[in-house]
Structure 1
Amino acid sequence: MSAESTPEPGIPGPPGTSGPRHRAKGRRRSRGKRGKGLLITAWTAAGILVLGGTGAGYLYFKLNDNLKSVDINQALGSDRPTKTDNGSENILVLGSDTRSGSNKKLGGGTDDGSARSDTAMVVHVYKGHKKASVVSIPRDTLIDRPACTDSRGTTHAAATGVMFNSAYSTGGAACAVKTVEALSGVRMDHYLEVDFSGFQKLVDELGGVTVTTTENISDPDSHLKLKAGTHRLTGAQALGLVRTRHAVGDGSDLGRIQLQQAFVKALVNQVKDVGLFTSPKKLVDLADTATRTVTADSELGSVNSLLDFANGLKGIGASHMTMVTLPVLYDPANPNRVIVVEAKAKLVWNALRDDRPIPKSAGKGTVSGGAKGVVTSS
């Protein structure tokens, strides 16, 4: 999505003040209808397939036909960061939606058929595949987007000072991967994309996801109203939670990212708790929805490949996942945008490249959104 068409995030008050929030001059912010903290659902969906691999063998061809793939390696060629050989893996997990069909209804947008992405997560799986770090990249981060060629062979010129999420709307998956690699200097080994419209159904088929809210959340824009306490969220409520921002923290997209990260952990826990083998129909429905929801890079673009990949991740529980946000500050020239704190970001990316834990110092002195702890997994 271009900067011109992206809903504006909430705007914090001036640093050091506690006065009312204000809105920067310029275009009026549209309502946030497409927030999708469901990005890591791709990982979870793959795990569902692992759990049902042997029992759903007769569905192989049907599930294989459901999967969509994109050849990232062919599109990007050799002009990429060096692939590390230390046993770790980096996966760019992206949420996307087209403004048509069920996505139009869920996202509240116009039926223009365009594809958009709001949030991205870089998942680093450490050597041994027993733990992972997840780095969220705010959609409103101002970056220099490299020139890129999309999967259709169309080349898009480089751009300076554009929003991060414009990479996907400009050149699709290939451009998004190249932009992340340019930003981080880290090679993405795989790409997983989760479709917006499949998320609600997936959560419902899991039987809901349990979270605890530490304060009341009421946001008419995302149609979410929860009292403080423990809740078993339906698919519709989960969508409301991962897209809300006005009702928590400073009202910015950074606060929403914190809710999304908490939901991801709850979702991972939920998958482990679901008794899939007790209900063959549930198993089939979950596998069907999961494969319809995911687009993968060509190396993962078959059921067998996705099963093998997910089998290496199934031992990573929520307690073994570290969730951070790319170190950013609000842009002094436009509080609707954030800018990367380069020195702090380098600590994050160097840690991933070297397969080390992300140092806590990377997040000090940066903005977070103020919603941490509002939602926890139960």
Structure 2
Amino acid sequence: MAEARRSRGGLRATGRRRRPVDRRRRLLKAGAWTAGAVFVLGGSGLGLAYFKLNGNISGVDIDAELGGNRPDDAPDGSMDILVLGSDNRSGANAEYGGAGQGGARSDTAMIVHVDKEHEKASVVSIPRDTIVDRPGCSKDGDDGSGGKAPAQKAMFNSAYQVGGPACAVKTVESMSGVRMDHYVEVDFDGFKKLIDSLGGVEVTTRKPINDKDSHLALQPGRHKLSGEQSLGLVRTRHAVGDGSDLGRIQLQQAFVKALMDQVDDVGVFSSPKKLYNLADSATSAVTTDSELDSVTDLVGVAKLLKGVKSDDIQFSTLPVTYDPADPNRVVPMESKARKMWAALERDAAIPASATKGSAGDRTDIGGVVR
């Protein structure tokens, strides 16, 4: 019965269904590295590699926790994934300070929508300081308390803090009306190791960046950023523009584009050792929903995205305006946000009118990094 209810995205839906597609075809480009690493090792090493890489991946059963009270799953073959960068400060992440200050938060949040032809994608960034109507959620329970977090107006990144991945997904679905088929999370340390295994990422800066908080200092010019420098770039906010999270989002989007170009050009398949190291880092870096938490799932994911290049992606930011009650916070521009979510539901490009006049469109970060 459960298998009969499984949707195309690997999650169970409560309404309309997407056309069934082999569950091996799901979204995460890191699967390409995983697949190659497994197959080039051969012999007895094949099994060892598979179990090592498989054991690296952490999974969360979000579907079981949220149950059936969720948006309908669109039937057109498109896919939506919530990607979070977590500022968890435990373990290897403790060097960034803030350990023990009330739990991890979602430092970066992007909704990745892949069209039904699997040829184009839209990425919508959600500012972490956005005041939203956070729904009631089960507490994450890391402190052993458990219980329920009540529905209330709160910053978007508090959803992950109080209720972990499931609450973050529930909050996104509540504000957008769009069902998230999958969930992918990367923390600071995993992000650094992934970039270093890739050999760094090349970017061009057109203005100097010197941020003591993110420990990044770059002069204008071409740079190959290490994992530590890349983390500094995507965390930078005070040294560029008006110091807001809206400017940082533009840096993050420019970095994602450069990262995709680097993955396409890196040529790891010519070196089995480099390929395995990259696969090891990629699978260690992510926490996924339980429908993506195996090498088999990630291998199939690469096939879905292999035709999507950085130029095929439309980057946008949730339309917001500064909160009159607190200039350090932003609130959604509801009519424009509805246009954005409706475009994703229709599997259409996000219209310019959905972001025109948004505070995110008025930052002066565009062109700082390319």
Decide: shared fold, TM above 0.5. Answer: yes
Q: 1:113 to 1:230 in 2, by over 3 A?
A: same
Letter in 2 for 1:48: W
Identity over the aligned pairs, expressed in percent? 59
Offset of 1:179 from its aligned partner?
Answer: 0.3
Counterpart in the other structure of 2:162: 170
Offset of 1:149 from its aligned partner?
Answer: 2.9
Offset of 1:109 from its aligned partner?
Answer: 2.7
Q: 1:55 aligns with which of 18, 24, 40?
A: 40
Offset of 1:113 from its aligned partner?
Answer: 8.9
Counterpart in the other structure of 2:18: none
Matches within 5 A, 1:23-34: none
Q: 2:99 aligns with which of 110, 127, 130?
A: 110
Query: Alpha-carbon deviations, 1:82-129, whole Å to 9, x = none?
Result: 000101000001111432221011x23336693332111000000111
Letter in 2 for 1:192: V
CA RMSD of aligned residues (A): 1.8
Counterpart in the other structure of 1:374: 368
Query: Does residue 265 of the first structure (1) align with residue 269 of the second (2)?
Result: no
SS in 1 for 2:237: coil
Q: 1:361 aligns with which of 350, 353, 358?
A: 353
How does the TM-score come out when normalised to structure 2?
0.86
Q: Aligned equivalents of 1:53 and 1:126: distance in 2?
A: 29
SS in 1 for 2:249: helix
How does the TM-score come out when normalised to structure 1?
0.84
Q: Aligned equivalents of 2:239 and 2:36: distance in 1?
A: 37
Counterpart in the other structure of 2:203: 211
Offset of 1:47 from its aligned partner?
Answer: 3.8
Q: 1:182 to 1:286 in 2, by over 3 A?
A: same
Query: Does residue 137 of the first structure (1) align with residue 126 of the second (2)?
Result: yes
Q: Aligned equivalents of 2:258 and 2:275: distance in 1?
A: 20
Query: Does residue 124 of the first structure (1) align with residue 124 of the second (2)?
Result: no
Q: Aligned equivalents of 1:173 and 1:276: distance in 2?
A: 32
Offset of 1:53 from its aligned partner?
Answer: 4.6
Letter in 1 for 2:61: D
Offset of 1:133 from its aligned partner?
Answer: 0.3
Letter in 2 for 1:70: V
Offset of 1:240 from its aligned partner?
Answer: 1.1
Q: Is the 8 A contact 2:193 2:227 kept in 1?
A: yes
Q: Aligned equivalents of 1:253 and 1:207: distance in 2?
A: 28
Which runs of 5 or more structure 1 residues have no equivalent in the other structure? 1-41
SS in 2 for 1:336: strand
Q: 1:151 to 1:239 in 2, by over 3 A?
A: closer
Letter in 2 for 1:180: V
Query: Does residue 307 of the first structure (1) align with residue 299 of the second (2)?
Result: yes
Q: Aligned equivalents of 1:146 and 1:353: distance in 2?
A: 21
Query: Does residue 70 of the first structure (1) align with residue 70 of the second (2)?
Result: no
Q: Is the 8 A contact 1:71 1:151 kept in 2?
A: no
Q: Aligned equivalents of 2:176 and 2:35: distance in 1?
A: 31
Letter in 2 for 1:213: T
Number of residue pairs matched by the alignment? 334
Q: Is the 8 A contact 1:156 1:170 kept in 2?
A: no
Query: Does residue 99 of the first structure (1) align with residue 84 of the second (2)?
Result: no
Moved more, 254-263 or 237-246: 237-246
Offset of 1:356 from its aligned partner?
Answer: 0.5
Q: Aligned equivalents of 2:157 and 2:179: distance in 1?
A: 19
Letter in 1 for 2:301: F
Letter in 2 for 1:99: R
Q: 1:47 to 1:196 in 2, by over 3 A?
A: farther
Counterpart in the other structure of 1:45: 30
Q: Is the 8 A contact 2:136 2:149 kept in 1?
A: yes
Q: Aligned equivalents of 2:127 and 2:60: distance in 1?
A: 24
SS in 1 for 2:300: helix
Q: 1:346 to 1:112 in 2, by over 3 A?
A: closer
Q: Is the 8 A contact 1:124 1:133 kept in 2?
A: yes
SS in 2 for 1:232: strand
Q: Is the 8 A contact 1:75 1:151 kept in 2?
A: no
Query: Does residue 82 of the first structure (1) align with residue 67 of the second (2)?
Result: no
Counterpart in the other structure of 1:235: 227
Query: Does residue 294 of the first structure (1) align with residue 282 of the second (2)?
Result: no
Q: Aligned equivalents of 1:99 and 1:109: distance in 2?
A: 6
Q: Aligned equivalents of 2:147 and 2:173: distance in 1?
A: 17
Q: Aligned equivalents of 2:253 and 2:40: distance in 1?
A: 31
Q: Aligned equivalents of 2:105 and 2:220: distance in 1?
A: 32
Offset of 1:325 from its aligned partner?
Answer: 0.4
SS in 1 for 2:281: helix
Q: 2:267 aligns with which of 230, 250, 275?
A: 275
Offset of 1:332 from its aligned partner?
Answer: 1.0
Q: Aligned equivalents of 2:151 and 2:69: distance in 1?
A: 18
Letter in 2 for 1:373: G
Offset of 1:314 from its aligned partner?
Answer: 2.1
Letter in 1 for 2:330: V
Q: Is the 8 A contact 2:140 2:162 kept in 1?
A: no
Query: Alpha-carbon deviations, 1:300-349, whole Å to 9, x = none?
Result: 11110121123211221100011100000110110110000000001110
Q: Aligned equivalents of 2:87 and 2:273: distance in 1?
A: 27
Q: Is the 8 A contact 2:205 2:222 kept in 1?
A: yes
